Chain A
Amino acid sequence: MVFTIIAALLILAGLVFFFGAAVGLLRFPDFYARMHAAGKGDTLSSLLVIAGFAVYQIGGVHDLSHDWPLLLVVLKLLAIVVFIYLTSPTSTSALADAGWEDGIDPIIEPGRENHLEDDLRPPQP
Chain B
Amino acid sequence: METRSPRNPFYAVLFFAVLLAIWVVFSGLLDPFHLTLGIISCGIVTWLSSDLLFDDRSVPLRRRAVQAWRLCHYVVWLTWQIVLSNIAVLKLAFSPRSALQPQIVRHRTALKTDFEKFLLANSITLTPGTVTIKILGDTFYIHAIDDASAAGLNGEMDRRIARIFEEPAS
Q: Chain A: residues with CB nearer than 8 A to chain B? A: 16-17, 20-21, 23-24, 27-30, 32-33, 35-37, 39-41, 43-45, 47, 69, 72, 75-76, 79, 85-86, 88-90, 92-93, 96-97, 100, 106-109, 112-117, 119
Give chain B interface residues in 130-162, CB to chain A under 8 Å.
Answer: 131-134, 139, 141, 143, 145, 147, 150
**For chain B, what secondary structure do more than half of its interface residues adopt (helix, strand, loop), or is it mixed?**
helix
When the two chains form the complex, which single residue of A28, A32, A33, A45 contacts B86, counting CB atoms closer than 8 Å?
A: A45
Contact A21 B89, beta carbon cutoff 8 Å: yes
A-B contact pairs, 13 of them (CB 8 A): A17-B86, A23-B94, A24-B93, A32-B104, A35-B143, A40-B86, A43-B126, A79-B25, A96-B143, A97-B134, A106-B102, A107-B102, A116-B133
Q: B42 to nearest A CB, angstroms?
A: 16
Roughly how many angstroms separate A32 CA and B141 CA in the complex, as a whole number? Answer: 12
- In contact, B133 and A93 (Cβ under 8 angstroms): yes
Q: How far is the CB of A118 from chain B (nearest CB, A)?
A: 9
Min distance, Cβ A100 to any Cβ of chain B, angstroms: 6
CB-based contact B92/A113 at 8 Å: no
Total residue contacts A-B, CB cutoff 8 A: 135
- Cross-chain contact of A32 among B126, B139, B143 (Cβ < 8 A): B143
Residue of A nearest to B93 (CB): A24
Q: Return chain B residues, CB-CB under 8 Å to A117.
A: 104
Least CB distance, B79 to chain A, in whole angstroms: 8
Given contacts A76-B25, A93-B125, whether A29 and B100 have CB atoms under 8 Å apart is: yes
Q: Does B97 contact A (CB under 8 A)?
A: yes
Q: How far is the CA of A24 from the CA of B129 in the complex (A)?
A: 12
B58 part of interface (Cβ distance < 8 Å): no
B90 is an interface residue with CB less than 8 A from chain A: yes
Q: Does B36 contact A (CB under 8 A)?
A: no
CB-based contact A24/B126 at 8 Å: no
* Cβ contact within 8 Å between A90 and B102: no
Q: Which residues of A contact B75 (CB under 8 A)?
A: 85
Known: A23-B94, A37-B93, A100-B134. A114 touches B103 (CB 8 A): yes
Task: Report B-chain residues with C-beta under 8 Å of the C-beta of A86.
Answer: 122
- Kindly list chain B residues whose C-beta atoms are within 8 Å of the C-beta of A69: 28
B82 to chain A: which residues have CB within 8 Å?
A: 40, 43-44, 47
**Interfacial residues of chain B within 104-133, with CB under 8 A of chain A in the complex:** 104-106, 118, 121-123, 125-126, 129, 131-133
